[in-house]
Amino acid sequence: MPTIIRSIHEWDTERLSYFDVAPDDGETEPECIVLMHGGGRGDSKEPSLPLAEDLAEHGHRVLGLDFMGSGQSSGDWSRQTLDRRRDQAASLIESRLPAGSPLVLIGFSMSGQTAADLVSLFGDRVTHLTLCAPGIYSRTLRNVPFGDESFRSLVFDRPDLWADSPALDVLATFKGRILRVLPECDEEVPAGMADLIEETLVANPAAVTLRLEGAGHLVDLWLADHPRDRHSVITGLRSLLP
């Protein structure tokens, strides 16, 4: 069985809950994997723990965190922003993982954007992205609090802003490998937004797509209850690793 350590990471004035999962024999692959949950008020790291355990069974060290105001972390979710999410994940990575270690980022929903933001921060250290039902967000929303009345309307009702997402620039030029995991029916990500991501990834030969029959937008919850699909995701991910 993998070793699971649960602890707290201090960030700014907040206490961020995280788990650190590793093979029980201590022998790990060079790439460290970071799991990041979606941006909803009720999202947390816990549904992705079975995925983390399965990855550890294959020799990977895996971190998963609750962002500020989510899960077991402190803070007010309504004050969370895209930039703060990036900074919280980066702080945990820099604190817990060996300096310079290769990174594999797995982002669910909003954390597709967060993963792209971390590529901009860590550069070639990020070797692989797995984006599960990913969303993208305009530069104009970087510091708009999630609780602001305008946030959701700007995300979903302004398709003219989607192409302004810095994530598209990252995905178009990313030198590593990309696995995009799509549910059969995504009731959250607008079709036009998904099409922009599709068009960007089609131009990147390093990107492949895996579709999960029966799954909805909350892919982490789906994978928690469907071990065969977890296996498919892990197989797809590992097939793209060096």
Query: Is pLDDT at 89 greater than 90 in this prediction?
Result: yes
pLDDT at residue 242 tops 80: no
59-79 pLDDT, tens digit per residue, is 999 999 999 999 999 999 999
Euclidean distance between CA atoms 74 and 69, whole angstroms: 5
- The count of residues in the chain is 242
Taking phi over 0 as left and psi of -120 to 50 as alpha, with beta for the rest, 69 belongs to: left
Q: Nearest-CA neighbor of 210 among 235, 186, 187?
A: 235
Structure tokens given for 26: 């201590």
Q: Say whether pLDDT at 227 is over 90.
A: yes
Q: Give me the mean pLDDT over the 88-114 stretch.
A: 98
Backbone φ and ψ for 91, nearest 5 degrees, come out as -65, -40
What is the C-alpha to C-alpha distance for residues 28 and 60, in angstroms, rounded to an integer?
A: 5
* Residue 214 pLDDT grade (very low, low, confident, very high; cuts 50, 70, 90): very high
Our measurement of the distance from residue 180's CA atom to the centroid of its chain's CA atoms, rounded to an integer in Å, reads 11
Is 90 exceeded by the pLDDT of residue 228? yes
Mean pLDDT along residues 150-162: 90
Task: Over range 111-137, report the average pLDDT.
Answer: 98
Question: Which pLDDT score is estimated for 157?
Answer: 86
User: What pLDDT, on the 0 to 100 scale, is given for residue 26?
Assistant: 78
In the chain, % of residues over pLDDT 70: 100
Residue 202 structure tokens:
């089609």
Question: Where do the structural domains in the chain lie, given as residue ranges?
Answer: 3-240
Q: How confident is the model at residue 169 (pLDDT cuts 50, 70, 90)?
A: very high
Q: Please tell me the predicted confidence (pLDDT) of residue 233.
A: 98
Dist. CA 118–CA 82, nearest whole Å: 11
Average pLDDT over residues 4-29: 95
* Domain 3-240 falls under CATH 3.40.1380.10: no
For the segment 70-94, the average pLDDT, to the nearest whole number, is 99
Give residue 100's pLDDT.
94
Edge-to-edge, what's the strand order for the sheet holding 103-108? Answer: 3-11, 14-22, 61-65, 32-36, 103-108, 126-132, 177-183, 207-212
pTM of the predicted protein model: 0.97
215 falls in which pLDDT band (50, 70, 90)?
A: very high
pLDDT at position 81, please?
98
